[in-house]
Structure 1
């Protein structure tokens, strides 16, 4: 199995796990503070990954250029903006709609890469991207919309527009990260991905941390008071990002994100076996659709 597929599957698992743990921070930290802990506690973990990789696998650190640093800034800022837009969509009572439309990231990344980067995919890969995103949309909106007319009506809701904006920001973020890893002069794609993880997490800590200092200074002590839960979130966030970045280093963003839709399966399995929630028929249909889309992507890569 290609390394980017393994990395993407692990990324989905870590992201689902991190999201579950992050629920512990609700009520203890503000939205901005909860975002900062992902980066703040993720930096030392990323540094540890780089150190262990150099010790066990070998290699040498790359020499970053100004172009590389610019891509890192764009990637880190894009993730922050995408997260904020997604949270804003929830404020319009559109949690399901906002989340669903943010998952169009894979399709948006595919078109951006096609138009601006000249990346082309096999017809099966395009079909797989569409099917996997469609399955995720179905899972997110099943039971909430009764007809195609309702889906079209939901598309013009503020929650949907903000969700689409979030998907665009996440797509641009992923493309910037891929460009950053490719612009380094190192020969090992995995090491380049881990280096980029450390640099971007440091930048994000500075960017969102500065905003926190300027707007919510009273929240800063809580970042360290909740270190037990926050550090776990930071570790899982760093693990997930390391896997995403590795996937981007080896394969086109659209394919990585399409396979990454498998994350929804981990969410369903978590709810079934850990929260003991019953799976509905729509959950099974949507999950099988996502799997079918991922298989098509892998066949058409």
Structure 2
């Protein structure tokens, strides 16, 4: 197997795990609220990240790489950016439909490509850039339903949605930068080490925030520990694969291929919720598949 293409199955595994985590978190939202359900991915995912690092260390006999100043800067930026992205996304969803906000936030691959070029020097071929645009356009087509408009809800949700995508993009760049800044270790070891630091920082930040401003949600998340364990496990599993993907290739490649998550979510809705697929959604899915196919064909 060509190891340079290992990021492809790794990213597909991450998208599948994230689809499962999203479904679990959706059920938790009904029990403990949006903020409480959001933070369980970090609080209950962190122990699984520590377990993963212990297993990787045991299997590979590698030493856990020590962090440096660049690593701290990147991992802190990535952790905070991901929290801000989630908060902005939830704020946008309060004012606009989920599908419309998805169209805003899924501009992330385009923004990842731009930030990756500026901050990390990750260059793209013309074919890869075209693939990113086509796949992103497919998400927009799927998300905008007949009779709706991307701008009909006013300026605030537009700005919040696009800013959310920008912070998700910065989070991806921050995590990839942290992985690349570690001096030693295999891709797996560096990715897992970064995962532990990232989830640890996010857990600490959110515990302090909820303790100060939303103790009710914090207490509720502890009370719902059994279903939260499932969300935490799937979240940590997805992040493990995302980070390994970031260690193997550019964040733009990973986040573009990750758009297949939209297709997975559509399949889940069709199967479990008996929702029919419209012609517009079929067109959007075709664009996503076409963009992803071009992305894969453009890889050397």
The normalised TM-score by structure 2 is 0.94
Conserved 8 A contact 1:8-1:244: yes
Distance 1:27 1:108, change over 3 A: same
> Is 1:136 aligned to residue 109 of structure 2?
no
Instruction: Give the deviation of 1:218 after TM superposition.
Output: 2.8
Instruction: Give the deviation of 1:220 after TM superposition.
Output: 2.6
Matches within 5 A, 1:20-169: 20-145=23-148, 150-151=149-150, 153-154=151-152, 157-169=155-167
Instruction: Give the deviation of 1:214 after TM superposition.
Output: 0.2
Q: Secondary structure at the match of 1:279?
A: coil
Conserved 8 A contact 1:123-1:300: no
Equivalent residue in structure 1 for 2:169, among 155, 162, 171 = 171
**Separation of aligned partners in 2, 1:122 and 1:69:** 30
Distance 1:213 1:275, change over 3 A: same
**Separation of aligned partners in 2, 1:224 and 1:238:** 18
Name structure 1 gaps, 5 residues minimum. none
**Separation of aligned partners in 2, 1:269 and 1:217:** 37
**Separation of aligned partners in 1, 2:61 and 2:293:** 34
Aligned length: 296
Equivalent residue in structure 1 for 2:295, among 269, 274, 297 = 297
Conserved 8 A contact 2:195-2:240: yes
Conserved 8 A contact 1:121-1:300: no
Distance 1:202 1:117, change over 3 A: closer
Q: Secondary structure at the match of 1:51?
A: helix
> Is 1:229 aligned to residue 232 of structure 2?
no
Q: Secondary structure at the match of 1:30?
A: helix
Q: Which residue of 2 aligns with 1:241?
A: 239
Conserved 8 A contact 2:96-2:153: no
Instruction: Give the deviation of 1:206 after TM superposition.
Output: 0.6
Deviates more, 1:110-119 or 1:71-80: 110-119
